[in-house]
């Protein structure tokens, strides 16, 4: 099975599987083909958007507010530490065991997973704004709300986008195991291989990997686009957000 030609053959077969439907191994229904992959990808993206959207609704305002008040650093860091310590499979399994299966539950579980990077990056993004800049703004008569909207938000945008990017990529990866909770995403051909066969699971793996890379690269471009021109080119400002989690932890634990 592992001669080079055979490997190529398997990958070729998998790519064929993406474009052309074939009969299921168990017989009967047709599986694979662009139509099915389009619908699986759609479902995959739907649950991702729902989860990240839900997480943003909670984490963005909280992170921005805590950052503005320069309080709750401990919370922001703890959430990210706890978030890392709970494996995604464990989180989803806990949801299945205690709340049951279904789209809403999976979206909720994935949202919990998406919250830490968004919260931490929003918090750090705001707190890293130079205090002198804010002091000068307040000194010129800007109100609290104006400071948040006109100064902190624009300057924190690159990091906020970094957080969103991290969460989206994480959720796309984790949504692959959503089929165990009854949500048919791109993970379905991987997990239910008895129906799809080897070519099917490999095909799905390829599509999921591509999806994640495209999301990473696309959101990276978006992140650069929202970075104020003068800040571009400084590696720290536009780098992927997840690294700021650690930096935040260090800075906050000493203050």
Partner 1 sequence: MSGALGSIPLLAQGGEGFVRNRESGSGASCVSDDGVCPAWIVDHFDRYMEPLGRHVLLTVVALAIGFSISFTLALLAHRRRWLIAPVVQLTGILYTIPSLALFFLLLPITGRGFLTAEIALVSYTLLIIFRNVVTGLDGVPSDVVDAARGMGLNDRQVLWRVEIPLALPEIAAGLRIAATTTVGLASLAFFAGAGGLGDPIYADLNFKSNVLVAGGLCVLLAIALDLLVLAVQRLLTPWTRAVPA
Which residues here bind partner 1, judged by CB under 8 A?
A: 1-2, 6-7, 10-11, 81, 84-90, 93-94, 96-98, 169, 172-174, 176-177, 180-181, 187, 190-191, 198, 201-202, 204-206, 208-209, 212-213, 216, 240, 243, 245-246, 249-250
Q: What is the 3-state secondary structure (H, E, C) of 84-142?
A: HHCCHHHHHHHHHHHHCCCHHHHHHHHHHHHHHHHHHHHHHHHHCCCHHHHHHHHHCCC
Q: In this complex, which beta carbon is closest to partner 1, that of residue 87 or of residue 228?
A: 87
Q: Minimal distance in Å, beta carbon 10 to partner 1? A: 5
Separation of alpha carbons 247 and 28, rounded Å:
55
Q: Minimal distance in Å, beta carbon 9 to partner 1? A: 9
| Structure-block tokens of residue 165 | 């990017």
- Virtual torsion, Cα 10, 14, 15, 16, nearest 10 deg: 100
Q: In this complex, which beta carbon is closest to partner 1, that of residue 148 or of residue 173?
A: 173
Q: Smallest Cα–Cα separation from 148: which of 247, 157, 240, 241?
A: 157
Q: Minimal distance in Å, beta carbon 84 to partner 1? A: 4
Q: Minimal distance in Å, beta carbon 139 to partner 1? A: 31
Q: In this complex, which beta carbon is closest to partner 1, that of residue 13 or of residue 54?
A: 13
- Which residues neighbour 152 within 8 Å (Cβ) at sequence distance 6 or greater? 64, 67, 68, 126, 129, 134
Q: In this complex, which beta carbon is closest to partner 1, that of residue 19 or of residue 243?
A: 243
Separation of alpha carbons 161 and 255, rounded Å:
25
Q: Minimal distance in Å, beta carbon 243 to partner 1? A: 6
Q: In this complex, which beta carbon is closest to partner 1, that of residue 28 or of residue 85?
A: 85
Query: How far, CA to CA in Å, does 117 sit from each of 53, 65, 120?
Result: 13, 16, 5
Segment (H or E) for 22: strand 22-23
Q: Minimal distance in Å, beta carbon 201 to partner 1? A: 5
Q: In this complex, which beta carbon is closest to partner 1, that of residue 140 or of residue 255?
A: 255
């Amino acid at each position: 099975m592992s001669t080079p030609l055979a490997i190529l053959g398997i990958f070729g077969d998998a790519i064929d599987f993406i474009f052309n439907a074939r009969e299921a191994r168990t017989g009967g229904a047709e599986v694979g083909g662009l139509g099915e992959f389009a619908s699986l990808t759609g479902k995959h993206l739907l649950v991702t958007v729902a989860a990240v959207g839900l997480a943003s609704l909670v984490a963005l305002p909280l992170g921005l507010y805590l950052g503005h008040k320069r309080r709750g650093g401990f919370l922001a860091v703890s959430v990210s530490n706890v978030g890392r310590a709970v494996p995604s499979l464990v989180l989803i399994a806990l949801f299945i065991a205690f709340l049951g299966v279904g789209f809403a539950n999976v979206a909720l579980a994935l949202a919990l997973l998406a919250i830490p990077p968004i919260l931490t990056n929003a918090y750090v993004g705001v707190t890293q704004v130079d205090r002198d800049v804010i002091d000068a703004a307040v000194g010129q008569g800007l109100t609290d709300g104006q400071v948040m909207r006109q100064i902190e938000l624009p300057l924190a945008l690159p990091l906020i986008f970094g957080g969103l990017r991290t969460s989206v990529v994480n959720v796309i990866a984790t949504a692959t195991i959503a089929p165990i909770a009854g949500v048919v995403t791109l993970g379905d051909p991987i997990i239910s291989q008895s129906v799809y066969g080897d070519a099917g699971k490999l095909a799905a793996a390829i599509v999921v990997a591509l999806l994640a890379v495209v999301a990473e690269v696309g959101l990276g471009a978006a992140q650069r686009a929202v970075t104020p021109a003068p800040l571009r080119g400084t590696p720290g400002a536009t780098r992927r957000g997840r690294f700021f989690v650690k930096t935040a932890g260090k800075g906050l634990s000493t203050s």
